[in-house]
Amino acid sequence: MSSLPNRRTAYSGFVLLLALFSPFISAQNPQSDQKQSAPVDLSRPAQRLRIGLALSGGGALGLSEIGVLQWLEENHIPVDRVAGTSMGSIIAAMYASGMSPAEIQKFAESIDWIEAMLPEPTYAALSYRRKQDRRNYQINAALGLKHGLKGPNGFNPGHGIGLLLDRIAFPDSGITSFDDLPIPFRCVATDMLSGDRVVLHDGSLAAAVRASMAIPGVFTPVEINGRVLADGGMVENIPVEVVREMNADAVIAVDLSVPLGGQEQLESLSGVLSRALDVTILQNERRSLALASAVITVDTGSFLANDYERVPALIRRGYDSAAAQSAALLPYAIRDESDWQQYLSERSARKRVAAKAVQVVEIEGGDSDQNSRIKQRLKPVTVGPLNLPNLETQLTRIAGDGQFDRLGYEGFTQDGVPALRVTAHEKSYGPPFVDLAINVDGSGVAAFNFSAGARITFMDVQHHGGEWRNDLLLGSSNLAASEFYQPLGNSHLFVAPFAFASKLPRNAFSGQTRIAVFGDERAGGGLDIGYNGGRRSEFRFGYEIFSGKLAPLIGSAGLPSVSGSTGEFRVRYIWDGQDSPAVPSRGTRIMADLSRVLQSPGLAHPIGQLDIQTSTFIPTGPKTSLFLVASGGTTFRGDAGPFQQFELGGAFRLGAYLPQEFIGNHYAYSSLGFRREIYRLPQLVGGRIYWGGWYEAGSAFNDPSSVVVRGTFNLGVIADTFVGPIALAASVSPTGQSRVNFAIGRLF
């Protein structure tokens, strides 16, 4: 959202580059070319001035304007017109729609603003297949091949914040003009094609506010009536002139004052660009404030533009700031109590009540097959009493399937009955979609692996949710794989034929000395039949066959190469209830594999194997979680061949030892530890940085009577970044082995 100086510190460097062009945008004609009629007046005594209120943009700082509204109402200062820009437009729209300051505060405090501002649904809300993508390909870069290799025209499509605006606007979905609201309302946006100021006064209230707060490069622009609209703060961050144009006799402006930074800010390129943007916005604010009848300057102090978790404190700051400037405001108060109650009553009489249920549901935005599937999935939340939060949850889960970047809703009337319209916005850059990954692990030059790759996913190949997934990974590990996933009708059942070719490094040891690195080569395919449990689970049963080869790449173990065909039946079940693919704070993940290997090099007869891996995170506070990782596998009574042996060693698998240092027919492993948040990265850079400690114990063995349990103490730092989790950990065993492990990519 637009902001005063230093309010865009959470933005990325590429957004700051826009500051170079902002002077040219703000220099355009500030007048909108849209003709506006004078708003309909509320009844008021002839001697009372018509009071207008202009609310400023400023990210989270704009939440302080709720406190300003509280003070104005407590002191009987009426608001007959209201306009806002960016965050100010959200607060203004709520107030204009008839919500009291207390209701606005309750609404603001109930929102998880951090989640609402995320560029996509949370990990928990993603479909199971999209969770697989995030877990295996963790670079946070939205790319597609629909029009060549491109990404979206904004970091955030605004799905989460859009749903909040839809809920605010839902009772007023049927209005034809913003003058029909309890308080006539306007909001300001910037036409990105012409650079003009655009004053939005009719149409969809939610879309208008969404356009007013669409920061270029952060939120995708909004197209309204052929115009490509973005954040209005570039042209009029405090819309005093707009309120004047609404025939207000006096305008009270809210100024979210933050001083310019010191000279030290100008000692870096990003600082200079940020200052250029700050100065541009400051200039249009000064022009606006000169037109105001009274100004409420909110002392934002040490608050930042992304302090959304400090809602109560921000509201209190706005209230106190208005009280401190009461001398300039009280002349506009209604002195007579009966006149004030009449004002409130007349305003309340114009408030609309949302429909309690709908009889018609329309879906638009997708093709006929997509719209039909969306309508089917919405039935549980649109039949009977209408619960908007439940509807929003279901829309977010549909967005979590990955094909739509946002879904929104509005009410309307069809043949005299209440109806609901859901609009799905398909991503402009795909399908097909491209997910990227970088996987690094090592503890020195002699033990270092690097691979990079991509996953290309085609969607609705045969409609009904069919997907064609293709993987390519190159480097120390190499993989080419393809799977066609086809749901059966509208059921959760699916079939998935697949093919793959891979070559992975595999260490060979004599005692604790690495004597060779083998290449583990496999090429084959198979067919799975399964059940998709929705967002959290998947069950598969299938047959896989591949031709494999184990041959030395570096050194020689004094053993011949092994090659031949392997065929096996396999059952796999995965439950993923965690809240992050990188560094979870809560939830459990379980993966269980049961296989019957019919043939393979080194096998004298068929064998059965079971492998179970689990990880559980338990929050103990807002920044700390305990975690337990436990896994184990067995070949039952048989002897595993070289392609079936279990292995231990490496980061998060006994970190004081090298990968594959311990192999056997059976294994058991567990670790117990904690991780604590120490820093939050800017949203465009990543998530949080943690430090943690954990103890590991495990053994891989052939004979249960000769089990040797090995342990490792670990202390490290993990950062959840846009390239995936980055971990640096020191590991030492009770017997003196030690390593410093570094990893990028999947950890748990």
Q: Is 116 helix (H, G, I), strand (E, B) or coil?
A: helix
Q: How far lies 503's CA from each of 133, 451, 500, 514, in Å?
A: 21, 12, 10, 20
**Lookup: tokens for 639:** 């002897």
Q: How many CA atoms lie within 13 A of 36 on its CB side?
A: 26
**Residue 394: CB partners within 8 Å, gap ≥ 6?**
377, 378, 380, 381
How many Cβ atoms from other residues are within 10 Å of residue 315's Cβ? Answer: 23
59 Rama class: left (phi>0) / alpha (psi -120 to 50) / beta: left
Beta strands in 365-492 (DSSP E): 404-414, 417-426, 433-442, 448-459, 467-475, 478-487
**Residue 495: CB partners within 8 Å, gap ≥ 6?**
486, 488, 527, 528, 529, 530
Q: Are 534 and 393 in contact (CB under 8 A)?
A: no
Q: How many CA atoms lie within 13 A of 217 on its CB side?
A: 14
**Lookup: tokens for 745:** 């990519």
SS3 content of the chain, % helix, strand, coil (to 5): 25, 40, 35
Backbone angles phi, psi at 348, to 5 degrees: -65, -35
How many Cβ atoms from other residues are within 10 Å of residue 632's Cβ? Answer: 17
**Lookup: tokens for 667:** 């294994």
- What is the rounded distance in angstroms from the CA atom of residue 274 to the CA atom of residue 702? 63
- Alpha-carbon torsion (523, 529, 534, 539), positive or negative: negative
CB-count burial class (<10 Å; 0-12, 13-18, 19+) for 165: buried
Q: Are 483 and 494 in contact (CB under 8 A)?
A: no
Q: Is 592 helix (H, G, I), strand (E, B) or coil?
A: strand
**Lookup: tokens for 321:** 């700031």
Catalytic residues, which ones?
A: 86, 231
- What is the rounded distance in angstroms from the CA atom of residue 52 to the CA atom of residue 42? 12
Q: Are 73 and 98 in contact (CB under 8 A)?
A: no
Query: Could you tell me which residues are beta bridge partners of residue 508?
Result: 516
Query: Could you tell me which residues are beta bridge partners of residue 364?
Result: 423
**Lookup: tokens for 5:** 């100086």
